[in-house]
Amino acid sequence: MQAVDFADGKLRLVDQRELPQAVRYLEIESAPEARDAIRDMAVRGAPAIGLAAAYAMALAAREAAEAADPGARLRMLADMIAQARPTAVNLLHEVEVVLDLLTGSPAGWYEAALGHAEAMKAGQRLEDEALAQNALPLFRPGMRVLTHCNTGALATGGLGTAFAAISLAHQQLGLTEVLADETRPRLQGARLTAFELGQAGVPHRVIVDGAAAYCMAQGLVDLVIVGADRIGSDGRTANKIGTYGLAVLAKHHGIPFAVVAPRSSCDPLWPGAREVEIEQRDPREVLEFMGQRVASAGSDALNPAFDVTPGDLVTAIVREDGLFRPPYAF
Catalytic positions, written as ranges: 229
Pair type for strands 230-232 and 237-240: antiparallel
157 backbone dihedrals φ, ψ, rounded to 5° = -90, 5
Contact between 238 and 276 under an 8 Å Cβ cutoff? The reply is yes
12 alpha-carbon distance from chain centroid:
18
Q: Which of these, 19, 63, 57, lies nearest to 41 by C-alpha position?
A: 19
Cis status of the peptide bond prior to 326, with omega within 30 of 0: no
Show the CA angle centred on residue 62, arms to residues 59 and 32, nearest 5°.
Answer: 40
316 backbone dihedrals φ, ψ, rounded to 5° = -155, 145
Half-sphere exposure of 280 (CA within 13 A, CB side): 4
Contacts of 95 (CB under 8 A, 6+ apart): 53, 57, 78, 81, 82
The DSSP-derived string for 93-152 is: HHHHHHHHH--S-GGGHHHHHHHHHHHHHHHHHHHHHHHHHHHGGG--TT-EEEE-S--B
Contact between 32 and 39 under an 8 Å Cβ cutoff? The reply is no
Contact between 242 and 181 under an 8 Å Cβ cutoff? The reply is yes
Ramachandran region, residue 219 (left: φ > 0; alpha: ψ -120 to 50; beta: rest)? left
